[in-house]
Structure 1
């Protein structure tokens, strides 16, 4: 039995090391090639840089208008994620606490909508909303992100809220608190782990999204993923600058994830109970 347990731990460790290597290898390639000359990248993208050059980062900062693109990405991501947290948590609370057929069907409809990919809705979506929204507008993009992200966020919140005893709501009602007061002052603070999970999942998606901003925004309001597209021309590709731009674009969201990773793991485990 001890031998079997020891081999099981070794196998688990080996699988963990393999997965860690698979996850970190793309980041390694991006960073290594971001400090190499173009002909060195074309000759052998897996080799270590010799010599090391930081010109790619300087050129990337200028060409992709990094700080303006960073500001646009921050504004869009922060507003989208914040509004998704507010609306999805309130909707999930209502659906979890209202035991009616209509609430059940609404929740099932939200879950079913998660199956349909955006690519399948892209053309009719653009045709339907074209007369009603202002294109090249960050507010319009935030509106679209709320619509596409509310289903998954509500699903995650619903699973977590279902684990919170209803007696807490009843006690708050006896003390004279309204439903809104009970939710924001008592229930919502208890949902910190799942809120961190919802924030990270949506922030990763919105920050790295390319297709929807490509349809809605132009260069004046472009996000970081759109700005990295500038390195891929019709006749030539600046691989070193592109790798530097990708490295600059991914750093903020990686820092955000590292800050909330403990809450993220806790929220995933607790929100999946029901």
Structure 2
């Protein structure tokens, strides 16, 4: 009994330590978002003498937050939907059509996941810059589709392999086309894995800085991560405003998870069980 109590106590302390280690950076960001720049530099761990929302007002205006939020929402939602639609259909095609070339295509997709994006940066900007395919959030969505397709297809591929083909045969006998079979029979079954893919893509695209920094040049097209970076200059860094900007950037994604929390948890659990 004593050993069980000791183990449970150790698990509790370990969980508490991991929780504090995870939450601590967010607490520091929130605390420093109410300070001026000098106070942040002097003692970033101290509580603010006066809780003032002036940093949030200045950051909201300096970031052009409404425009940046709109751009981030368009890019994140549009890119995630494109990845889900194209990767699920591609995975279904690769699984159900037993062509030799399909194995080669799937192997190429898996191999592409190990190539770091940093190795593609220079040719990426050089080639697409000459083609005039930069400085547009809609073009950026196309790039996210290209970079996110392989992982999402890989995830869907393993899930679709376990779906009995008899379900599709019954729908085909009833006169359904292949597209109807996919959208009305297969895709609803993919709901758990779609939730997983959606979580991964939304977190990646919403927080991504590197790819938008290469593609989006004009201030009107900037996403929230790019707007937040405007507080860091070559010679001066305004940490107070930057922290307030980071809090503003975090709020939409927190609202997203709070609204879809039940669906996300249910989808991940069902996907894990299957």
TM over 0.5: yes
Which residue pairs with 1:27 in the alignment?
A: 26
Post-superposition offset of 1:183? 0.8
Q: 1:232-271 to 2 correspondence within 5 Å? A: 232-265=232-265, 267-268=267-268
Q: Greater CA deviation, 132-141 or 64-73?
A: 132-141
Q: Deviations over 1:69-102 (max 9, x none)?
A: 1111111111111111110110111112223332
Instruction: Name the CA shift for 1:102/1:18 in 2 (closer, same or farther; >3 Å).
Output: farther
Instruction: Name the CA shift for 1:120/1:45 in 2 (closer, same or farther; >3 Å).
Output: same
Post-superposition offset of 1:47? 1.4
Count how many residue pairs are aligned between Structure 1 and Structure 2.
Answer: 273
In the alignment, the residues of structure 1 paired with residue 78 and residue 194 of structure 2 have an alpha-carbon distance, to the nearest angstrom, of 15
In the alignment, the residues of structure 2 paired with residue 246 and residue 160 of structure 1 have an alpha-carbon distance, to the nearest angstrom, of 36
1:105 is aligned to 2:104: yes
Q: 1:1-274 to 2 correspondence within 5 Å? A: 3-218=2-217, 219-265=219-265, 267-268=267-268
Cα contact 2:195–2:268 (8 A) shared by 1? no
In the alignment, the residues of structure 2 paired with residue 230 and residue 109 of structure 1 have an alpha-carbon distance, to the nearest angstrom, of 38
Q: Normalised by the size of structure 2, how large is the TM-score?
A: 0.92
The two structures, once aligned, show a CA RMSD in angstroms of 2.0
| Structure 1 runs not aligned, ≥5 long | none
Instruction: Name the CA shift for 1:11/1:270 in 2 (closer, same or farther; >3 Å).
Output: farther
In the alignment, the residues of structure 2 paired with residue 96 and residue 88 of structure 1 have an alpha-carbon distance, to the nearest angstrom, of 12
Q: Greater CA deviation, 176-185 or 259-268?
A: 259-268
Instruction: Name the CA shift for 1:265/1:96 in 2 (closer, same or farther; >3 Å).
Output: farther
Partner-residue secondary structure (3-state), 1:130: helix
Post-superposition offset of 1:130? 2.5
Instruction: Name the CA shift for 1:21/1:159 in 2 (closer, same or farther; >3 Å).
Output: farther
Partner-residue secondary structure (3-state), 1:231: coil
Partner-residue secondary structure (3-state), 2:81: helix
Post-superposition offset of 1:126? 1.8
In the alignment, the residues of structure 2 paired with residue 271 and residue 107 of structure 1 have an alpha-carbon distance, to the nearest angstrom, of 22
